[in-house]
Chains A and B, each alone.
With several copies, the nearest count.
Chain A
């Protein structure tokens, strides 16, 4: 699946997007954050406080306990500050 990062999550990881292949036991948005955190120092830094990270699956907001299902795009970002 494609992972996309925004704002300081993007800056900390140092990438705009990438293809990721989490193992089958990673089933929810929250588990995906935990798995990504273990992919290196920059990921651990970006996700050091998982509770503030927002997740969108295929461009729709989801809670951390939402199943990944067949999502092809997972986006990770801080709370929005538009408007």
Chain B
């Protein structure tokens, strides 16, 4: 079963429809017991931000996310995986990243989705720059140690 899973990975400027992506994994099937959907949104950081600008490394971004998705499929009994990451300018409240995992069992779906997000944070070549409401284009968001710790706990 694991070998048949083909992760869907997309890196795009356009928005995505989380529900439609989840439906693609489950429709017509009766062997899936659990679907976990993670959606990452742009925060305005207490009203400070006008937008986030996401720079990415074209080509490598897709490859790296696909690599992480393949690792998840090898590690958990998944029946479907979708990962979509946007780039470009993203307004507060808008969607940045989507991960959907489908499995017979809830623990596998939860763990795989958590793993995918931890790894996307630390391995996928994206960088966020803040654009402030006062018109200045601000700092590059610094990587956090917490994200490294989160990724480190999977021990790969």
Contacts and interface: CB of A to CB of B under 8 A. Distances in A.
Interface of A: 4, 6-8, 56, 59-61, 75, 77-83
Please provide the 9 A-B residue pairs with the shortest distance between their CB atoms, ordered closest to farther: A82-B126, A79-B143, A7-B127, A83-B121, A59-B60, A83-B120, A82-B124, A81-B141, A81-B128
A83 B55 contact: no
B42 to A, nearest CB: 12
A82 B57 contact: no
A34 B142 CA distance: 23
A83 B125 contact: no
B128 A59 contact: no
B63 interface: yes
A80 B54 CA distance: 11
Contacts of A77: 57, 125, 127
A78 B127 contact: yes
Contact of A83 (B40, B60, B63, B129): B40
Nearest to A52: B143
Interface of B: 40, 54-57, 59-61, 63-64, 85, 96-97, 106, 117, 120-129, 140-143, 147
Nearest to A7: B127
A7 B121 contact: no
A60 B119 CA distance: 14
Nearest to A75: B57
25 contacts: A4-B57, A6-B125, A56-B57, A59-B59, A59-B63, A61-B64, A61-B123, A75-B57, A78-B140, A79-B143, A80-B123, A80-B124, A80-B125, A81-B140, A81-B143, A82-B61, A82-B97, A82-B121, A82-B124, A82-B126, A82-B128, A83-B97, A83-B117, A83-B121, A83-B147
